[in-house]
Amino acid sequence: MWQDFGDYILNEIGDKQVKIAEIGVGNFDRISNTLSQKDNVTLIKTDIIPKDSSVIKDDITNPNLELYKDVDIIYSIRPPSELQPHIINLTEKIGSQLIIKPLTNEDLNTGRVKMKLKNYKKASFYILR
């Protein structure tokens, strides 16, 4: 499933130069490791409590908008429901695409914004363009 999730993002970007941000990276870095191997990807990873120096400290409830300047895609893996509206707000402010991979069977908390369920091979997630 995780390989399929990463492959979806890679297929979306193709060979274009893109800037991608992972919000709330936590300790799971399988997708960010896959993306960071691509020469055409600039990747930033953020979390309120960075696990190491590769993760930038940022509070999504009051994000540093300068960090997300020119970001084309934001993704978040299993973000807590109380943070999902803040991720939506950031996405709208910067005009990027959003991909959320929630916990299995979890309802999204995106308020007035409706995200589209996407099934790609064995991965299921929500997108907002």
Residue 121 has phi, psi (to 5 degrees) of: 55, -115
Sign of CA dihedral 43, 95, 9, 46: positive
Q: What is the CATH number of the domain that holds 115?
A: 3.40.50.150
Domain assignment of residue 30, yes or no? yes
Lookup result for tokens 């055409």:
40
User: Is the pTM for the entire model greater than 0.85?
Assistant: yes
Q: Is residue 14 part of a domain?
A: no
pLDDT digits over 10-56, tens only?
999 989 999 999 999 988 888 999 999 999 999 999 999 999 999 99
Residue-wise pLDDT for 56-114, tens only, equals 999 999 999 999 999 999 999 999 999 999 999 999 999 999 999 987 767 787 777 88
Domain residues for 33? 2-9+19-128
Do 58 and 48 contact (CB within 8 A), yes or no? yes
Q: Which two tokens stand for residue 10?
A: 């890679």
